[in-house]
Structure 1
């Protein structure tokens, strides 16, 4: 595997994790507001 491919994959993986964390936080916040 080339270094560029590994670097691109790691960047996409990191970006995906960040998007997932933000989505979880949004869900938790909306869930709390709905229950109130």
Structure 2
């Protein structure tokens, strides 16, 4: 239990960073598709 409590903030921080990166990547892909096809 103490170990989980200790490592939770780091995991959540990295999780938020990966979510942000995925969001940026999706936006870039959508923009690229829009430029290519429209």
For the aligned pair, the TM-score class normalised by the smaller chain equals 0.7 to 0.9
* Structure 1 residue runs without a partner (length 5+): none
Number of equivalenced pairs: 36
Structure whose CA Rg is larger:
2
TM-score by length of 2: 0.82
Q: TM-score, normalised by structure 1?
A: 0.86
Q: Which runs of 4+ in 1 moved over 4 A?
A: none
RMSD of aligned residue pairs (Cα, Å): 1.1
